Structure 1
Amino acid sequence: MKDEIHLPSLELFSAIAVQCLKRDHEKRPPITDIVSALETCLKIQEAFEVKARDAKLIQYTLVDFKELCPPGGSNLVILYTTSVKGIRKTSKDCTRIRSLLKSLKVLFQERDIAMHSDFRDELLQMFDKSATVPRLFIKGRYIGGAEEVFRLHENGKFRPLLDGIPNIAEGPCKRCAGARSVVCGKCNGSNMLKSAQGGMTKCTECNKNGLIKCPVCF
């Protein structure tokens, strides 16, 4: 019983039980006092069980989340974001999750849907034509957006999900300095190439900004 009942509840329960066992019935407590004491015991015990249950919930594992794996993300922490600041809440939410991951010093891969259309296409395929961000994945499991992630974090349930994830490398990537993109070497960032006919044609290796995904980060 000692592992199942809260000690203050047990002590109060025992005290009222002892009083009920007195040989002289006139010294026994009235039924109203007994009921009141038992109700108090129950409230103390229920409060204890709620706290114990909440403590167990902290031990969330990734299998409790939906299996949904971005391309190449089976062993990674992947955060889909956008660098476009047109929607203030979206931009703020992306920054909040990015900052949280950095503060926890875990290695994560950021996929900016505004910088590379293939990242947007990945989201569209996974979420049935919905590419809203931010969205966080850990080892092929979908954790959620900003609201879900910070609810987990505030309740102490987020950090355990990152167990086994490598610590973030010291300093930014030496190739892209943390930008996750580098200038296309084929067109030198112009997004244009000379065609065989002598005119100009768009480079197929980079995005419209003349950038490609950093080969070190991705």
Structure 2
Amino acid sequence: MSGAARDPGPVRRAPDGRGPRLVNLPNALTVLRLASVPLFAVLLLRDGGADDAGRWWAAVVFALAIATDWYDGMLARRTGQETEFGKLVDPIADKALTGTALVGLSVLGLLAWWVTVVILVREWGVTLLRLWVIRHGVIPASRGGKWKTVAQSVAIGLYILPLGGVLAAARWWVMAVALVLTVVTGLDYVVRALRLRRAGAAATSAAGARRPPGARTDTAA
């Protein structure tokens, strides 16, 4: 998920000067997580959510997918196997899994649509913010963003499970915590993106002011 995305720093090179191989275990886990999304959706929506066994299996698939999200990023960083492919596909897989879970739960009437909309708008909005300022720098994941990811994962997992009684009531409070963290960290990303863009614009202006008079600003022949 977005808060647990891989460190977007430069790809580390192998001793021979070449980058890490595209086909490696972290990337394989990322692709496996993305491929598990259709299976998860089928299990969750089977018999209109009335199949308790299907929902239990959906919860298992969801938990395993979340575990690979944590493990592949850690493995890629520790072994120097980070690739541009992994940086691109990892957040896509996270959002596909989370988005499918939220939409599926709302389709089944287990989760209010406004909750799903708020979370998805925040997640995709942060992605667009990152792209908006990418030429000026990278917005790193915050500690709050990581807690948001944990809260969302736990809340979604509780909603997937066919629970009743106290546990069914408690899951709303977990989702409420996830919602608060989602909104607060989303606003924090907006502030940091604006600061980064302003700093980048100021640096560009300063570089232009230092350029000798009459120097060409284009690279055309």
Same fold flag (TM > 0.5): no
Whose RCO is larger (CA < 8 A, sep 6+)? 2
TM-score, reference length from structure 1: 0.24
Q: Which has the higher helix share?
A: 2
**Normalised by the size of structure 2, how large is the TM-score?**
0.24
Structure ID, larger Rg: 1
